[in-house]
């Protein structure tokens, strides 16, 4: 999923620095845009696996635009909201916090999403220092009230996998053990490609929209009763409200992407669609 909004990279080592008034901290910006009646209190002392398991079966992605989801039933719907975008390049890491308002229901079950982008394949040349820097920027999301997990959204090239693996390992060390850690996954990563094995994550969400040239063969495989390889890819599915979905494995957590702000009508449509894969 792509971040379509204009943003300004935060001042980092080797990056151009902007006035501090243009660079709100990740924590402050993210906390201000999350509006709900009750988000306070200490995070329950559960394990990451337990927090992942207690997420509702249906999760709505709230991307980079104003969203009002205050009307959803938080017992049956979770919310994965874009909290920040990281921009990676050879000379440093820029961070764009979320600026758009997000209204939430009482006691929501939240996942903070960090989108990772880069400007060239040279990302493969980044050092362990850049990996730690990116992980530290994402780890600050653990202070956003009410979240039960962090999700990383990065369409890593083959040459970028080692960097991504180290980023996830650093991130898992930096965040509390109680927070679940998940990633979005290109569907092709879950079709016999074993590079996801042994990553420190609770869930990889196969993205079954905007899939590119592999779309027909992957959907045909699923339509014929096939499944993804590896347990980490068999817990959830990522689907879009505006794309056709064939026969899909049942009983998975469903992450819904909508190309425009959610409305009660489109949320209801997603809930009805979810019944097809009970």
Q: Residue 81's beta-bridge partner residues?
A: 62, 112
Q: What is the pLDDT of residues 58-115, one digit of tens each?
A: 999 999 899 999 999 999 999 999 999 999 876 778 899 999 999 999 999 999 999 9
Mean pLDDT of the 222-229 span:
87
How does residue 36 score in pLDDT terms, banded at 50, 70 and 90?
A: low
Report the alpha-carbon distance of residue 15 to residue 91 in Å, rounded. 7
Mean pLDDT of the 123-139 span:
79
Per the structure block, which two tokens stand in for 153?
Answer: 């959204």
Q: Distance of CA 154 to CAs 33, 58, 73, 187, 197, Å?
A: 23, 22, 29, 13, 17
Report the alpha-carbon distance of residue 22 to residue 141 in Å, rounded. 19
Report the alpha-carbon distance of residue 112 to residue 140 in Å, rounded. 11
- Residue spans per domain, the chain: 20-277
Q: How many Cα atoms occupy the beta-carbon half-sphere of 145 within 13 Å?
A: 18
pLDDT of residue 206: 93
Whether 231 has a pLDDT exceeding 50, the answer reads: yes
CA 94 to the chain's CA centroid: 18
- CATH 3.90.1490 assigned to 20-277: no
How does residue 220 score in pLDDT terms, banded at 50, 70 and 90?
A: confident
pLDDT of residue 128: 66
Q: 134: Cβ–Cβ under 8 A, 6 or more apart, which residues? A: 86, 88, 93, 116, 167, 170
Report the alpha-carbon distance of residue 38 to residue 108 in Å, rounded. 8
């Amino acid at each position: 999923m792509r971040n379509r909004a204009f943003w300004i990279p935060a001042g980092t080592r080797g990056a151009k620095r902007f006035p501090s008034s243009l660079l709100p901290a990740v924590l402050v910006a993210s906390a201000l845009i999350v509006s709900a009646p009750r988000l306070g209190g200490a995070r329950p002392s559960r394990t990451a696996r337990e927090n992942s398991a207690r997420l509702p079966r249906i999760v709505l992605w709230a991307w980079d635009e104003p969203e009002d989801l205050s009307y959803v039933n938080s017992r049956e719907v979770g919310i994965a909201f874009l909290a920040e975008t990281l921009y990676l390049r050879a000379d440093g890491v820029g961070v764009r916090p979320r600026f758009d308002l997000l209204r939430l229901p009482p006691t929501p079950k939240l996942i903070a999403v960090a989108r990772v982008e880069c400007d060239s394949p040279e990302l493969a040349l980044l050092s362990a220092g850049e990996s730690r820097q990116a992980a530290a920027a994402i780890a600050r999301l653990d202070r956003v009230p009410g979240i039960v997990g962090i999700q990383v959204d990065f369409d890593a090239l083959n040459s970028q996998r080692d960097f991504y693996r180290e980023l996830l390992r650093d991130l898992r060390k930096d965040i509390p053990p109680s927070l679940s850690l998940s990633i979005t996954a290109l569907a092709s990563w879950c079709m016999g490609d074993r590079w996801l094995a042994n990553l420190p994550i609770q869930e990889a969400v196969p993205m079954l929209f905007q899939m590119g040239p592999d779309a027909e063969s992957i959907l045909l495989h699923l339509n014929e009763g096939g499944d993804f390889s590896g347990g980490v890819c068999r817990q959830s599915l990522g689907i879009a409200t505006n794309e056709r979905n064939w026969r899909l494995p049942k009983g998975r957590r469903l992450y819904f992407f909508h190309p425009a702000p959610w409305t009660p009508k489109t949320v209801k449509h997603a809930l009805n669609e979810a019944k097809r894969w009970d």
